[in-house]
Amino acid sequence: MELPVISNAAPEAEGGGCSSSGCGTAPDALSHLPDHIRSKVQDHPCYSEEAHHYFARMHVAVAPACNIQCNYCNRKYDCSNESRPGVVSELMSPDQAVKKTLAVAAAIPQMTVLGIAGPGDPLANPERTFETFRQLSEQAPDIKLCVSTNGLSLPESVDELAKHNIDHVTITINCVDPEIGAQIYPWIFWENKRIRGVEGARILIEQQQKGLEMLTSRGILVKVNSVMIPGVNDQHLKEVSKVVKAKGAFLHNVMPLIAEAEHGTYYGIMGQREPTPLELQELQDACAGDMSMMRHCRQCRADAVGLLGEDRGEEFTLDKIDEMEVDYAAAMVERAKVHDAITAELDMKRALKAAPKFDPDAIDEGPVTRNIRIAVATKGGGVINEHFGHAHEFLVYEIGPKEHRFLGHRKCTPYCMGDESCGDGETVLGGIIRSLEGVEVLLASKIGFEPWADLEKAGIQPNGEHAMEPIEEAIRAVYDEMAAAGKLAQPAVARAAA
Amino acid sequence: MSLEIVDSCVGCYACEPLCPNKAISAVMQPGEPLFFINPDKCTECLGDHDLPQCAEICPIEGAIVDEYGEALNPLGSLTGIPLHLLEQLRESECRQ
């Protein structure tokens, strides 16, 4: 039997400037950043937890080649049924990618970011990658360009990246110790040879670290991605976090290993286990003392389109975009209007948060109430607007008497995808409940009668009363109501494992 | 003397720019392997590199063979996955 974890409050440092002023806002993972960096990332859905509710991104799959092998990757990347990094449905030429980007940007004005992330390594395909960037920076100057790399070819690409005005780069760094690296990377291709084992890992690590330093010294923002592999690099990632922060990375994104036998990856076939959501959170918390952590990553496909967590790629396949006529000049005007409206809304929300509030605790030290975790179902816009049965994921927040923080998302199979799959509802619900381990309240715009009862039985209180309300206001209202009813004075009753 | 790409090739393009003889090209015909090595141009990199570059970077075991049909990267040599597990995998591969 596991006790619900309620004591792993974030280290003091994460509270940012808010904790002492009692303003009650979530410590934004980016709040410690200087203004000039924050302004660069505040409309980037992959970097800003706030922005990911409002702005969309897309990836174009122009970079199929790779120069290393990772044990969590299978190079047979062509699959339409899987949603994970390194997987695409169609490979594109730079010209096709540009056409697709313009079509998507016209149709989805919230799209602010175009990334190249594979399915191989963008910098192992420099001609295709940079040709795409060159055309887009000319034709669509209002789109931010970014790139994600394993780092092996990074040092030789830094000049070219700077030339195309790319101000965000993500490097996947899973280790700084070659002995650990040898358990993650079976080989790299380096100076015309395949180099295996510790030697290969040593070169890769050296290039990653050199590339990181070169980028940050030029003022290019670097986010570091790490894949958490239990028993291989999970403890080591705390060290990685320290090292990359010292070298100027502004954000660290620790992601869980995805390893299933049917993916055909080394880890999948060898039975390497994935971390549980709680293990991931604990590691993210442990690393958070050293630098700002990212918790909203959805580990999207290398050809994803739309808001994080959604994929509208099907609407923009090559044959469909061939038939689209895009007037990008007109689209750019429309896009600017939409971006301005979103920015105004966000500014207003920030101003409201920053305003002084009545703080009853300052007068009366009431009974101390404990922190709880609340899951919410949303499809974007920062409000509770998704039915329980349709949710592909739940966002999990931890909330206490004064503060709350976003912990991450829990992916799941939707309870009900329509008539055909409803019969599977029973088993699917078990999976959802397991994925919500540690959560005590679930907010959705609507929750059906049957899952309601099972959720309650599992110790998760469903709640549909806050439909269409902003997430942060709703979780605060729920918390305050529970606190007033005296439900939060005691440690939670231990819940039987689902 | 020439190497050959067989139909397990996944079309990742990694080999194409590395060929010192520009012998490798993409094939756009259904039913054919995705890439083709022109036997009149391929030298197996003799005189240019110690080892054939296409086979050095190719991530797919068995996708590049020599004139005797021998794989330059035999099964299990790139991923370290034991052969009996690779067999099981073949039966449950992700299908489009």
Looking at residue A410, its pLDDT comes to: 85
Nearest CA distance, B71 vs chain A (angstrom) = 16
Annotate chain B with three-state secondary structure.
Answer: CCCEECCCCCCCCCCHHHCCCCCEEECCCCCCCCEEECCCCCCCCCCCCCCCHHHHHCCCCCCEECCCCCECCCCCCCCCCCHHHHHHHHHCCCCC
Closest CA to A425 of A397, A398, A452, A446: A452
Distance CA A89, CA A85 (A): 12
Beta-bridge partner residues of A69: A187
Looking at residue A322, its pLDDT comes to: 81
Contact between chains at A69 and B78 (C-beta distance less than 8 A): yes
Q: What is the DSSP string of A387-439?
A: BGGG-SEEEEEEE-SS-EEEEEEEE---S--STGGGGGHHHHHHHHHHHTTT-
Buried b (16+ CB within 10 A) or exposed e, B33-58: bbbbbeeeebbbbeeeeeebbbbbbb
Distance CA A207, CA A192 (A): 16
Residue A208 shares a structural domain with residue A310: yes
Q: How many domains does chain A have?
A: 2
Within 8 A by CB and 6+ apart from A364, the residues are none
Within 8 A by CB and 6+ apart from A279, the residues are A228, A230, A234
Contact between chains at B13 and A189 (C-beta distance less than 8 A): no
Answer whether A130's CB lies under 8 Å from A73's CB. Answer: no
A245 in a domain, yes or no?
A: yes
Token pair in block for residue A61:
């799959």
CATH number of the domain where residue A45 is located: 3.20.20.70
A74, A84, A196, A260: best to mutate for the B interface, most B CBs within 10 A: A74
Residue A290 shares a structural domain with residue A436: no
Looking at residue B92, its pLDDT comes to: 61
Domain boundary among A299, A322, A345: A322
Residue A277 shares a structural domain with residue A407: no
Q: Closest residue of A to B17, CA-based?
A: A125
A4 in a domain, yes or no?
A: no
Residue A317 shares a structural domain with residue A379: no
Contact between chains at B60 and A75 (C-beta distance less than 8 A): yes
What is the three-class DSSP state of A225? strand
Q: Closest residue of A to B54, CA-based?
A: A192
Element (H, E) at A305: strand A305-306
A122 in a domain, yes or no?
A: yes
In the predicted model, residues of chain B with pLDDT beneath 70 are 89, 91-96
Complex confidence, ipTM? 0.92
Q: Closest residue of A to B88, CA-based?
A: A269
User: Chain B residues within 8 A (CB-CB) of chain A?
Assistant: 10-14, 17-18, 49-51, 53, 56-57, 59-60, 78-81, 85-86, 88-89, 92-94, 96
Closest CA to A389 of A414, A422, A406: A414
Provide the residue range defining the domain that includes A237. 16-322
Annotate B2-20 with three-state secondary structure.
Answer: CCEECCCCCCCCCCHHHCC
pTM value is 0.77
Distance CA A461, CA A440 (A): 6
- Taking residue B30's Cβ as centre, other Cβ atoms within 10 Å add up to 5
Kindly report each contact of residues A349-355 with a partner whose C-beta sits within 8 Å and lies 24 or more positions away, as own/partner.
A349/A382, A349/A470, A353/A23, A353/A24, A353/A25, A354/A23, A354/A25
Residue A421 shares a structural domain with residue A281: no
- Strand-strand pairing, A193-196 and A187-190: antiparallel
Q: How many domains does chain B have?
A: 1
* Residue A375, CA distances (Å) to A224, A442, A464, A495 in order: 27, 5, 12, 16
Nearest to B14 among A66, A262, A266 (CB): A66
CATH number of the domain where residue B52 is located: 3.30.70.20
Count, residues in chain B:
96
Looking at residue A4, its pLDDT comes to: 41
Nearest CA distance, A258 vs chain B (angstrom) = 15
Residues of B in contact with A65 (CB under 8 A): 12-14, 17, 57
A330 in a domain, yes or no?
A: no
CATH number of the domain where residue A421 is located: 3.30.420.130
Rg (CA), chain A: 23
Residues of A in contact with B85 (CB under 8 A): 269-270
- Taking residue B88's Cβ as centre, other Cβ atoms within 10 Å add up to 11
- Taking residue A250's Cβ as centre, other Cβ atoms within 10 Å add up to 23
Residue A290 shares a structural domain with residue A406: no
Looking at residue A425, its pLDDT comes to: 54
Closest CA to A246 of A290, A189, A308: A290
A377 in a domain, yes or no?
A: yes
Domain boundary among A263, A297, A322: A322
Residue A266 shares a structural domain with residue A373: no
Provide the residue range defining the domain that includes B72. 1-96
Residues of A in contact with B80 (CB under 8 A): 186, 266
Closest CA to A168 of A143, A140, A142, A148: A148
Count, residues in chain A:
498
Domain boundary among A322, A343, A374: A322
Q: Please report where in the chains the tokens 């980028």 appear, as a residue.
A: A215
Within 8 A by CB and 6+ apart from B47, the residues are none
Contact between chains at A264 and B13 (C-beta distance less than 8 A): no
Token pair in block for residue A165:
């005005």
Residue A388 shares a structural domain with residue A309: no
Prior bond of A230 cis (ω within 30°): no
Helices and strands (H and E) in chain A: how many = 16, 15
Residue A306 shares a structural domain with residue A378: no
Q: Closest residue of B to A119, CA-based?
A: B12
Residue A316 shares a structural domain with residue A375: no
A1 in a domain, yes or no?
A: no
Element (H, E) at A252: strand A251-256
What angle, rounded to 10 degrees, do the helices at A126-139 and A94-107 form?
A: 40
Contact status of A96 with chain B (Cβ, < 8 Å): no
Residue A369 shares a structural domain with residue A436: yes
A471 in a domain, yes or no?
A: yes
Per-residue confidence in pLDDT tens, chain A, 498 aa: 444 433 333 333 333 333 333 233 334 556 667 777 777 777 777 777 777 788 888 888 899 899 999 999 988 766 555 566 666 667 889 999 999 999 999 988 888 889 998 788 999 999 999 999 999 999 999 999 999 999 999 999 999 999 887 878 999 999 999 999 999 999 999 999 999 999 999 999 999 999 999 999 998 999 999 999 999 999 999 999 999 999 999 889 999 999 988 888 899 999 999 999 889 989 998 887 655 677 777 777 667 777 776 778 888 888 888 888 888 888 888 889 988 888 888 888 878 877 776 665 555 555 678 889 999 999 888 899 999 988 888 999 999 888 888 888 888 878 876 444 455 555 788 888 888 888 999 999 999 888 898 899 999 999 999 999 999 999 999 999 998 888 887 665 544 443
Looking at residue B83, its pLDDT comes to: 87
A23 in a domain, yes or no?
A: yes
- φ, ψ dihedrals at B83, nearest 5°: -60, -40
Element (H, E) at A68: strand A68-69
Looking at residue A7, its pLDDT comes to: 35
Residue A314 shares a structural domain with residue A413: no
What is the three-class DSSP state of A327? coil
Nearest to B59 among A66, A263, A269 (CB): A66
